[in-house]
């Protein structure tokens, strides 16, 4: 008796989650922490396999099979709620034919401390549970700090990229953005029209009324171009007074003619800068992606450029289509 009592005291100190079972699988004694998990259900006297089911190895369903698992790692689960999973190790007691089964929470510890309101006193002094809980909280806090830094850096990066694609004077896209989009459209085999628009007499406004007037004219011209195009068309300022407008999925000549006509008409109207009229006009050349068997960015830009040059030669303030020029030549 003393021997058994000593053994039990020893087990309670070293393994607060042990089970002592006899040869019939009946629980003789349960560690204090394990009993704390089932305050309403005294474990002593119950059959070990009635309280727990084995998850791994699945083949173990009988008591003799369980007793034969000496030294192997077991995964068990409470049969009733909360169905906490536990890790276990069986140490047979040859003299009595029973066994000591030591249990621990394993990875379920995070839920277990919350579900059962466990405290430091419920773990043996050498158990790493408290250190594990500490680490989880410390690492989560550190991860949260890193994550918030990452989010701010990502925001800063997006803002920087956005700026790099934007012409700061007019708010339109810049040449880089236009090149990028053009490459993308060609890769995706999209059809589109590309307008090259050049402001006539812009240099004279700049020379006569100064750079402030020139900047004002560019901003007004940009506004007009945005107003006369659809939301998913791209308007880019690609040089001092040069603009490119890309119309995705639009190659209908009549529509393009009418947009170009409206642009020219509105840009022809004098703009007032500090009570001084600034008079410009616009020449436009347009090329269609569908005119090329294998469209290349450089070829389409060149075609629009050729059409623009023709518009300038034809007296400015007009629109020319590359396709019309080609037909006239052949």
Partner 1 sequence: MHGLINRAIQSFVGATYGQSCWVRVTEGARLGFVEFEAMLIYDDEMTTRVLEALSIDLNRPQAEILEDLGTYLVSHPNMEGLRRLLRFGGVTYVEFLHSLDDLTDRVRLAVSDLNLPALELRELSAKEYQLCCLPDMPGFSSVMVGVLRAMADDYGALVMLSHEGRQECCEIISIILVESAFSEGRHFDLGARNR
Q: Interface with partner 1 by CB under 8 A: which residues?
A: 110, 112-115, 117-121, 130-131, 133-139, 141-142, 145-146, 148-149, 152
Contact 174, 237 (CB under 8 A): yes
Residue 128 contacts by C-beta under 8 Å, 6 or more apart in sequence?
Answer: none
Of 63 and 130, CB closest to partner 1: 130
- The Cβ of residue 138 has, within 10 Å, a number of other Cβ atoms equal to 10
Of 112 and 280, CB closest to partner 1: 112
Residue 142 CB burial class (10 angstroms; 0-12, 13-18, ≥19): exposed
- The Cβ of residue 92 has, within 10 Å, a number of other Cβ atoms equal to 17
Rounded to the nearest whole angstrom, what is the least distance from the CB of residue 36 to partner 1 in the complex? Answer: 13
Contact 101, 86 (CB under 8 A): no
Of 73 and 83, CB closest to partner 1: 83
| Residues annotated as part of the active site | 241
Rounded to the nearest whole angstrom, what is the least distance from the CB of residue 138 to partner 1 in the complex? Answer: 3
Of 153 and 253, CB closest to partner 1: 153
- The Cβ of residue 202 has, within 10 Å, a number of other Cβ atoms equal to 20
User: Minimal CA–CA distance to 217: which of 234, 232, 237?
Assistant: 237
Rounded to the nearest whole angstrom, what is the least distance from the CB of residue 166 to partner 1 in the complex? Answer: 25
Rounded to the nearest whole angstrom, what is the least distance from the CB of residue 8 to partner 1 in the complex? Answer: 25
Strands (E), 202-275: 234-237, 242-248, 271-273
- The Cβ of residue 148 has, within 10 Å, a number of other Cβ atoms equal to 10
Between CA 85 and CA 104 the distance in angstroms is 9
Q: Is beta strand 319-321 parallel, antiparallel or unpaired with respect to 281-288?
A: parallel
Between CA 287 and CA 306 the distance in angstroms is 9
Of 152 and 208, CB closest to partner 1: 152
Rounded to the nearest whole angstrom, what is the least distance from the CB of residue 4 to partner 1 in the complex? Answer: 31
């Amino acid at each position: 008796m003393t021997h058994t009592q000593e053994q039990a005291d020893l087990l309670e100190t070293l393994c607060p989650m042990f089970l002592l079972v006899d040869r019939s699988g009946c629980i003789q004694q349960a560690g204090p922490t394990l009993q704390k998990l089932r305050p309403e259900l005294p474990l002593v006297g119950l059959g070990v396999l009635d309280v727990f089911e084995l998850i791994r190895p699945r083949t173990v369903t009988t008591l003799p099979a369980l007793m034969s698992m000496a030294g192997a790692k077991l995964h068990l689960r409470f049969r009733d709620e909360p169905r906490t999973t536990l890790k276990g190790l069986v140490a047979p007691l040859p003299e009595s034919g029973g066994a000591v089964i030591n249990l621990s929470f394993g990875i379920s510890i995070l839920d277990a401390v919350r579900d059962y309101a466990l405290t430091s006193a419920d773990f043996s002094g050498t158990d790493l549970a408290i250190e594990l809980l500490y680490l989880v909280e410390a690492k989560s806090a550190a991860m949260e700090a890193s994550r918030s830094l990452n989010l701010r850096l990502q925001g800063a990066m997006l803002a920087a990229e956005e700026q790099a694609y934007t012409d700061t004077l007019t708010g339109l896209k810049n040449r880089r953005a236009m090149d990028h989009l053009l490459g993308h459209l060609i890769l995706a085999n999209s059809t589109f029209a590309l307008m090259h628009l050049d402001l006539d007499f812009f240099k004279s406004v700049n020379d006569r009324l100064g750079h402030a007037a020139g900047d004002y004219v560019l901003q007004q011209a940009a506004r007009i171009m945005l107003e006369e195009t659809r939301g998913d068309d791209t308007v880019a300022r690609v040089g001092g007074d040069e603009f490119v407008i890309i119309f995705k999925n639009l190659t209908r000549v009549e529509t393009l003619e009418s947009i170009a006509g409206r642009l020219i008409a509105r840009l022809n109207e004098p703009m007032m800068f500090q009570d001084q009229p600034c008079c410009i006009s616009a020449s436009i050349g347009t090329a269609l992606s569908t005119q090329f068997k294998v469209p290349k960015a450089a070829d389409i830009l060149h075609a629009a450029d050729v059409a623009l040059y023709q518009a300038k030669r034809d007296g400015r303030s007009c629109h020319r289509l590359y396709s019309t020029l080609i037909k006239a030549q052949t």
